[in-house]
Amino acid sequence: MTSSPVDIDLTIGTPSSRRVGARSDPDGAGEPEPHLEGPALVAMYRMMLTARILDEKIWHLTRSQKVPFAIPGKGQEAAQVGSAWAIAKGHDIVLPYYRDVGVVLTLGMTPYEVLLNAYARPGDPNSGGRQMPYHWGCRRLGIITGSSPIGTQIPHAAGLAMASRIKGDDRVTVCYFGEAASSKGDFHEALSFAGIHRLPVVFVCENNLYAISVPMGLQSPVEDVARRAAAYGFPGLVVDGNDAPAVFAATQEAMSRARHGEGPTLIEAKTYRLMPHTSDDNDRAYRTAEEVEQWRTRDPLLRLRRQLHDAGLLGQEDDARLTAEVRAEVDEAADRAADTPEATAESAFTHVYARPLRAIRGAPVTVGAEPPSPGSVSQPTEGIERNGLEAVRETLDQLMAADDRVVTLGEDVGLLGGVFRATAGLQARYGCNRVIDTPLAESSIVGIAIGMALDGLRPVAEIQFADFLHSAFDQIVSEAAKIHYRTAGDFSVPMVVRTPWGGGTRRALYHSQAVEAFYGHVAGLKVVVPSTPADMAGLLRSAVEDPDPVLVLEHKRVYRAVRGLVPEGDWRVPIGVADVARAGDDLTVVTYGIHRQLCLAAAELLAGEGYSLEVVDLRTISPLDRDTILESVVHTGRLLVVHEDNVTFGVGAEIAAIVAEEAFHDLDAPIRRLAMADVPAMPYALPMEQAMMIGEHEVAAAARTMLRS
């Protein structure tokens, strides 16, 4: 069990976490903070009262089964309203967490909107039922959408604050979370980056002492979350989270520091939730009624009410009138929300992408899609000869020169120019604010890029090797790919993640993996795999200009071993369009990455034997160009799929399924997949690596067998 209220000392400071707003009297009564005038205190009380009555209303609606789920904030109103009171509404940027009814109300969300959120009805700030209630988001109010995985929003806050630094504005980003989030790697990675760059961000931890049932003592070896700030080079403040004026004072101080270029602050508001974790929780299983009752004596709403009464700012009649007004307002909002029509079934299939390029597969309704923009399907016949690495570097240079919103970030991308030198010279040209060397922390690299994108920048994040993408899996899959969908288009994430992938360069188990199948499966994410220098340039340009998150997989062997013409100027290759790299009549070979070159070599070899192979380079894994694949297979009657990834559950399995479903009667032979065996990755020893690799002779042998059958 956690300690009782009387055991928590809010008067003793430590070198790493200063305590503010402490009271000498046991029940917390006393004079309000002097810099808050009477009318402001009454208004703050009214906001806390609204949060309390609204919270109770939603709870009662769950008990009557009119609302399916509730996350009560009762007991945390002082921490929420007191801190949000110091934020410049409509100017600063706020990332609440799921319990923050008081925060969003203070920022301008109405009780009606909050109740729409609870009912998950269309038009609400929570995207009309696409995710659980209480996962706020409202662009017009500067409230950034949040999600269920805790702590994932903290790197976004660092990215948003970095965007303010780059743009030179005076906005402050405020990020809320519970004490349990301080156990997550995203918390530490984000605070590290914020401290390094002295970003204009305020982190507010609402420490209610429990992560569902797990008490603070099993969440952290230190009593104060705020003490962690010292490790990242900025102040941590501990404040009595049940004292609204004290929370306001601490937040106001932190906001001033951030706005004047003095860097971040971590505020820990010590509070308590008086209700279960959610409407599905039984808190009696892990805490006693006596403990809860002790905390009720420090109820923040009653506490501020006493202060106002004692100061002569709010009489009993005024309080009764105010309570009646708020209750009527909440009841009216609840009736309106209940009468709002529910979302239609069709809306479940919209807003998967900001720019959908194909119809949503599996959807019972057809949702409008914007076909891939016109562009070259084949390789150019004019331009400057470059290898793949030069194409990437030159394209990034051109994009950054043309658009100040384009920012590059990642490990070693600045002074070193990247381990493959893809960004060499860019930091010298564009400065440290636009070519950013980050800590070795992949989740924060992607999370920070998401924050930048949410603020309108066009970040290009580099992950040093595709094998390390998995450290950022949650940010890519749970956040970047789902933000547009879960907010019904209110937010989009125009970001690019570049990463080298693939084997054949003797880089072994953790530097050679093929990862495209993992990410091609993720709705909301676009995945491209350029195979030539021209495609490296053209697809990268299209990716940076796209309003959706795009993963660009750059095969390491294409970097230096493949040369080709790259047109000058704004050369683009449209996302979602495959390339018929070689026309043929007898067999379709579908491939991507370095295997484009190997399949073309195999086709040339077999041409000498009288066989005509058609080679289709996918170029985009998701959304897949099914039309080009099917047209080719219908023409040739045979299909061989070649890829470097494991054969089981690979991209080849999806292509085989599409052809089997839609062109089965056009086939003259069974479909065949030629892919790597189901081993973790290519090993280091040369004979072992060669045994795994699929070269032109293996492709030719497989094709020959099919053609002779």
What would the two tokens of residue 621 be? 């894994």
User: For the ranges 123-127, 269-273, 321-325, 592-596, which has the lowest average pLDDT?
Assistant: 123-127
Please name the residue ranges forming H helices in 546-621.
Answer: 556-561, 595-607
Confidence of residue 16 (pLDDT cuts 50, 70, 90): very low
pLDDT (average), residues 576-581: 96
Per-residue pLDDT tens digits for 382-433 = 999 999 999 999 999 999 999 999 999 999 999 999 999 999 999 999 999 9
Report the share of the chain in percent with pLDDT over 70.
91
> Running DSSP on this structure, what letter comes out for residue 647?
S
What is the pTM assigned to this prediction? 0.93
Mean of all residue pLDDT scores within the chain: 91
Please give the pLDDT value at position 107. Answer: 97
Please give the pLDDT value at position 19. Answer: 61
Please give the pLDDT value at position 684. Answer: 67
Confidence of residue 585 (pLDDT cuts 50, 70, 90): very high
pLDDT (average), residues 117-136: 71
pLDDT (average), residues 690-701: 88
Q: Which amino acid is at 385?
A: E
Per-residue pLDDT tens digits for 208-234 = 999 999 999 998 888 899 999 999 999
Report the share of the chain in percent with pLDDT over 90.
79
> Running DSSP on this structure, what letter comes out for residue 480?
I
**Of 178, 70, 79, residue with least CA distance to 132:** 70
Residue 376 scores a pLDDT above 60? no
Residue 624 scores a pLDDT above 70? yes
Catalytic hit among 511, 555, 595, 643:
511
**Of 709, 421, 464, residue with least CA distance to 559:** 421
Please give the pLDDT value at position 128. Answer: 54
> Running DSSP on this structure, what letter comes out for residue 476?
I
Contact 243, 83 (CB under 8 A): no
CA–CA gap between residue 435 and residue 36 (Å, rounded): 43
> Running DSSP on this structure, what letter comes out for residue 316?
H
3-state secondary structure 220-265: CCCCCHHHHHHHHCCCEEEEECCCHHHHHHHHHHHHHHHHCCCCCE
Confidence of residue 345 (pLDDT cuts 50, 70, 90): confident
Please give the pLDDT value at position 122. Answer: 74
Sign of CA dihedral 329, 331, 336, 337: positive
Confidence of residue 348 (pLDDT cuts 50, 70, 90): confident
**Of 558, 659, 561, residue with least CA distance to 616:** 659
Residue 683 scores a pLDDT above 90? no
Residue 367 scores a pLDDT above 70? no
> Running DSSP on this structure, what letter comes out for residue 377?
S
- Better-predicted residue by pLDDT, 355 or 27: 355
Please give the pLDDT value at position 689. Answer: 72
What would the two tokens of residue 81 be? 């309203």
What would the two tokens of residue 321 be? 């009138």
Residue 184 scores a pLDDT above 50? yes
Please give the pLDDT value at position 27. Answer: 44
Please give the pLDDT value at position 265. Answer: 98
> Running DSSP on this structure, what letter comes out for residue 17?
B
Confidence of residue 1 (pLDDT cuts 50, 70, 90): very low
CA–CA gap between residue 582 and residue 444 (Å, rounded): 42
Tokens 């506490």 — which residue?
303
CA–CA gap between residue 342 and residue 34 (Å, rounded): 47
User: For the ranges 340-344, 397-401, 458-462, 656-660, which has the lowest average pLDDT?
Assistant: 340-344
484 is annotated as an active-site residue? no
The structural domains of the chain, ordered by start, are 5-27+36-337 (3.40.50.970), 384-566 (3.40.50.970), 579-708 (3.40.50.920)
Please give the pLDDT value at position 120. Answer: 79
Which SS3 state, helix, strand or coil, does residue 509 take?
A: coil
Calculate the dihedral angle through the C-alpha atoms of 642, 644, 646, 650, rounding to the nearest 10 degrees: -60
Please give the pLDDT value at position 104. Answer: 96
Please give the pLDDT value at position 5. Answer: 35
Confidence of residue 512 (pLDDT cuts 50, 70, 90): confident
